Amino acid sequence: MYRYIVNRLLLAVPTLVGAAALVFLLMRLIPGDICLVRLSGGGSVDADALAACHADLGMDRSVLLQFLSFLGGFATFDFGTSMWSGKPVSYEILTRLPISLEIAVLATVVAIAIAIPLGTLSALRQNTWTDFVIRTVAIAGIATPSFWLGIIALIIVLDVTSAVSGTPWMPPIDYVPLWQDPVRNLSMAILPALTVGYRYSAVTMRMTRSAMLEVLREDYIRTARAKGLVHRLIINRHALKNALLPVVTLIGIEFAFLIGGLVVTEQVFNLNGIGRLFVQAVQNQDYTLTQALVMLVVAVFVLTNLVVDILYAWLDPRIRYA
Amino acid sequence: MSLALPNETLLDRSAAGRPFRRSLLQRVLSFCVREPMGTLGLVLVLAMLIAGLGADWIAPYNPTSNDFTAMTEPPSWAHPLGTDQFGRDLLSRIVFGARTAIIVGFTCAIVGGVVGLVLGVASAYFGGGVDMLFQRVLDVMMAFPLIIMALAVVAIFGTGVQNVIIAITIPLIPRCARVVRSSALSIREVPYIDAARTCGLGHARIILRHMVPNVMAPFLILLTAFVGQAILAEASLSYLGLGVQEPVPAWGLMLQGGAEEYASTAPWIAIFPGLAIALTVFGISLFGDALRDALDPKLRDR
């Protein structure tokens, strides 16, 4: 097991370095000189100021040295300063992280709570109306853009609250920690979590269904039936336990992709999270912030994959000893 | 599929001495009978294609002309889906938006898919060190969620239809290459590849003529999924203001302008463009699922 973990860790490192190299190269593909863009606001550009700016950004060094210092920066969590706000990138990210993290975790809970029971039910009632309806709901979840769902949810909340109480109510947009004001915090986070969670649950539901169908055909399920085991026990203890393995992987992978979904959803609900920061960074052409955020997402992806793989090996001995 | 034919048909065919082949129409009809949901999907996709391609004749109004005498009008006979805050007819904008969605969706899926197909098959064919290196590169590319990669590309090249297409195509390539590679790996071991090599055929010819046709089933299934993903990604980018730019009509863009501001007074501005996106991608997904069942019977019931 330890050997497996070490192997997996060693595989994650080149992926991260490779991703850093890709981001580094992409950021250097930007047409024109960043310093020229920054300084040319006043018209003509002073040669000394240009050189100073280059030195400041470390652009007078060789490309290899630049890349190494770029990597070193990430390794020591020093991402430089935002080119737009002038504040440290790590500060910008850390102030925005809790809100996104909370929505991501809530969305995951929503997704699991919907997907696993419905996916299992769909598999058990294969090719019946129940199955048909659940599958349609799942496909609709994949097809519906989460930002549109968010807008519709807001319209409904507005209409319902103004019909019930006379005054339209909108969820709060400023972040209050859960422990300070749980009601306010949850009323802010629940709608985005539901809209993102629906899509997430749709993917997970389909996976649960197909994994469950596969497991239900296994010999040991027939054996369990033959020896007269109660149906509920066969499903819960024998089938579901094995069917959930690929589902765990999917949940892990989708968790990382959730951040991508948040980019759009936070915009709908006007929430000041990581996703919104990312869009602002791109709009403001703030390259230091953009590259740090891209690397953050990639790191989350690689780390969740790592955790999922280790979890998978722990759950399934066949992987460990393969 | 022909393997499942009853024996008499096979005998008939040999007796007649001509190859048995069903016409395209027969194939389509049998698909419709066996896959009702897939047919519904196909109908939705066709409706969207007709709307997009025939937008000039179908749209009742010019999608970009403002009419300040008819702003935020609810759906009526004159404006079946209502008008937006500039008095533009929503139906016309949605019909023209279909064209943008088709252009972006299909270009991204086809270009990204074909590049991924060739790379994936080539990687499986050459194997060894080439494959190893290629796998690591794919690992890196796949670590970027689609929308994040697309946003990073937009950050560099800027917005607009052309750049959006580039931004969405790039992240699709590794996703296609990975799936295609894994199906191509099993084909490499099949004797006819060795036979082709013994005949002295070149690498390019073996890859393109002998291996690529055999990964067509998973490839086509993937391609349909890509069209849906590309349309969703384009809508997301446009909604963020980082995709297609005004005055080009695009569904995501229509949700960006006044959808939230007018949420309570003119909800149709928000409802209809989103419905167009959802129905289109829904149709593509249904069709893709049915296509998977039809092309790959092994996966049926899963």
Interface of B with A in 135-174 (CB under 8 A): 136-137, 139-141, 143-148, 151-156
Handedness of CA B108, B112, B115, B121 (dihedral sign): negative
Best of A264, A276, A287, A288 to substitute, by most chain B Cβ atoms within 10 angstroms, is A264
**pLDDT score at B259:** 65
Question: Which of B60-74, B103-117, B203-217 comes out lowest in average pLDDT?
Answer: B60-74
ipTM: 0.83
Tell me the torsion sign for CA atoms B55, B60, B62, B63: negative
CB proximity B113 to A under 8 Å: no
Name the DSSP letter for residue B209: I
Q: Which residue in chain A has the smallest CA separation from B280?
A: A143
| pLDDT tens figures, A222-245 | 888 888 888 888 888 888 888 888
How close is the nearest chain A Cα to the Cα of B134, in Å? 12
Spatial neighbors of B238 by CB under 8 A, at least 6 apart, are B164, B244, B250, B251, B252, B253, B256
B202 near A CB under 8 A: no
Q: How confident is the model at residue B15 (pLDDT cuts 50, 70, 90)?
A: very low
Confirm if A264 and A271 have CB atoms less than 8 A apart: no
B235 contact residues in A (CB cutoff 8 A): 145
Which pLDDT does position B247 carry in this prediction?
A: 80
**Closest CA in chain B for residue A280:** B240
Which tens digits make up the pLDDT trace of A151-160? 888 888 888 8
Residue range B154-212, pLDDT digits in tens = 888 888 888 899 999 999 999 999 888 888 888 888 888 888 888 888 888 888 888 88
Measured between beta carbons, the chain B residues lying within 8 angstroms of A259 are: 145, 148
What is the predicted pLDDT for the residue at A38? 64
Under 8 Å between Cβ of A274 and A100: yes
Q: What six digits make up the tokens of A249?
A: 């992987």
Distance of alpha carbon B125 from the chain centroid:
27
Backbone angles phi, psi at A93, to 5 degrees: -70, -45
Contacts of A149 in chain B (CB under 8 A): 274
Six-digit token string for B50: 């007709």
Nearest by CB to residue B255, choosing from A15, A140, A151, is A151
Cα separation of A201 and A48, whole Å?
Answer: 57
The tens digit of pLDDT for each residue in A68-85 reads: 887 887 777 777 777 777
Across the interface, do A152 and B147 touch by the CB < 8 Å criterion? no
Query: What burial class does residue B75 get, using C-beta atoms within 10 Å of its C-beta: 0-12 exposed, 13-18 middle, 19+ buried?
Result: middle
Confidence class of residue B4 from pLDDT cuts 50, 70 and 90? Answer: very low
Q: Does B241 touch chain A (CB under 8 A)?
A: yes
Domains detected in chain A? 16-75 (no CATH), 97-315 (1.10.3720.10)
Quick one: pLDDT band at residue B103, thresholds 50, 70, 90?
A: very high
Q: What's the whole-number average pLDDT of chain B? A: 82
Peptide bond into B247 cis (omega under 30): yes
Cα angle value A301/A315/A308 (rounded, 5°): 0
pLDDT band at B34 (very low <50, low <70, confident <90, very high): confident
Q: What would the mean pLDDT of B11-22 be, rounded to a whole number? A: 53
Nearest residue of B to residue A258, measured between CA atoms: B145
Contact B152 A23 (CB under 8 A): yes
pLDDT in tens, B70-94: 677 777 777 777 777 777 878 888 8
Which among B143, B153, B278 is the nearest to A143, CB-wise?
B278
The first and second tokens of residue A55, run together, are 């030195």
Which residues of chain B make contact with A14, given a CB cutoff of 8 A? 136, 139
pLDDT in tens, A277-309: 888 888 877 778 888 888 888 888 888 888 888
What pLDDT is recorded for position A42?
53
pLDDT(A27) > 80: no
pLDDT computed for residue A35 by the predictor = 67
pLDDT in tens, A96-153: 888 888 888 899 999 999 999 999 999 888 888 888 899 899 989 889 988 888 888 8
Which pLDDT value is given to residue B1? 41
- Cβ separation of A290 and B242 shorter than 8 Å? no
Domains of chain B: 41-58+84-295 (1.10.3720.10)
Given CB atoms, is A162 within the 8 Å cutoff of chain B? yes
Show residues of chain A in contact with B231, CB under 8 Å.
none
Chain B residues lying within 8 Å of A152, measured CB to CB: 270-271, 274
Residue A219 pLDDT exceeds 60: yes
Asked if B299 and B293 touch (Cβ cutoff 8 Å), the reply is yes
Helix, strand and coil percent figures for chain A, each rounded to 5: 80, 0, 20
Best residue in B34, B94, B151 for a mutation probing chain A (most A CBs within 10 Å) = B151
Does the pLDDT value for residue B283 go beyond 90?
Answer: yes
DSSP secondary-structure letter at B171? Answer: H
Q: Which amino acid is at A236?
A: N
Q: How far apart are CA B232 and CA B281, in angstroms?
A: 8
Instruction: Name the residue in chain A with its Cα closest to that of B260.
Output: A151
